[in-house]
Amino acid sequence: MTTTMTPDIRPQTVSAEIPEVPLTTEGYSVLHQMMRFRWTAWRAVPEGTRSAITQEAASALGEMEQRSGGQSALFSLIGHKGDLMLVHFRNSFADLNQAELNLAGLRLSEYFEPTSSYLSIIELGLYDSTLKIYKELTAQGIPPHSDQWKAEIEGKLARHREAMHPRLFPEIPPHRYICFYPMDRRRGEEKNWYTLPLEERARQMHDHGLVGRRYAGEVKQIITGSIGFDDWEWGVDLFADDPLVFKKLIYEMRFDHVSAVYALFGQFYVGVRCPAAALGKLLSGEVPK
């Protein structure tokens, strides 16, 4: 009697480990421009010429404030790090570059001296969703990084982008004050954020987010990703009508584990909003209202 061998039809297991990189969704491209204003040279310009230059700039800034595909906003900086900060939200880096060129074409730009800038893109980190998605796909036997894996993830991210559209493509908040700073996650020395397991990073980021939510009615926060774009890994913009909330929020976050152990901070820039209509007052030496 002959024996027929039955082929092994057991499902194949996924041998690769779950990836450690959390998923993200991205929205507007963002550029911060910090500048000094050449006050001495400006005051030497005849009054009539100053008025014409101001009107030209105010008209251009007014149009940039009202753009439907990403706005711009001007702030009068407090302290020695600069006099002005322009914040631009746009659909692409090319559009950001066009905003730079448009400003450079204004006669007022002759009195600007750039001191710094920051390039980034609005980013939502999806730690909790990442773990859920990765586990679902591995349970289905889909190999990580395979074409099917990538297609499944892109489909899920597309749905998330649609649901989160208002957060990914927001208007610049109208609040009177801004606080901007870049930051990194520690890597090297005794602590390294990037060597922690994904589950642990997700847990810490969840707890970290709870602090910010307690200030939801007082401050608007926009996080941008800048890995590969600028010298730090993220940028943080805080908007509020009372600047004291910046101190309270950031101080409380210092005691949160993820900030206390892993956060590194760059320079802080704090400014007062200057609507385009108030540009003349600002250039006359008055605090914008």
Helix H or strand E segment including 133: helix 127-139
Q: How confident is the model over 35-52, as a mean pLDDT?
A: 98
Structural domains of the chain ordered from first start: 28-122+279-283 (3.30.70.1030), 129-163 (no CATH)
From residue 45, give the alpha-carbon distance in Å to each of 53, 110, 134. 10, 12, 63
List, for residues 15-33, the tens digit of each pLDDT value: 457 889 999 999 999 999 9
Say whether 111 is catalytic. Answer: no
Q: Over 80: is that where the pLDDT of 98 sits?
A: yes
What is the reported pTM?
Answer: 0.87
Fill in the amino acid letter for 148: Q
Share of the chain above pLDDT 70, in %: 94
Torsion over CA: 189, 191, 193, 195 (sign): positive
CB neighbour list of residue 171: distance below 8 Å, 6 or more residues apart: 71, 89
List, for residues 153-173, the tens digit of each pLDDT value: 999 999 999 999 999 999 999
What φ, ψ does residue 103 adopt, rounded to 5°?
A: -65, -40
pLDDT at 16: 54
pLDDT at 9: 37
CA distance 88 to 262: 29
List, for residues 217-268, the tens digit of each pLDDT value: 789 999 999 999 999 999 999 999 999 999 999 989 888 888 888 899 999 9
Give, to the nearest 10 degrees, the angle between helix 244-254 and helix 198-213. 150
Q: Over 60: is that where the pLDDT of 5 sits?
A: no
pLDDT at 47: 97
Set 127, 177, 181, 215: catalytic member: 181
Mean confidence (pLDDT) of the chain? 91
- The better pLDDT of the pair 209, 288 is held by 288
Which of 187, 60, 231, 207 lies closest to 127 in space, CA to CA? 207
- The better pLDDT of the pair 218, 283 is held by 283
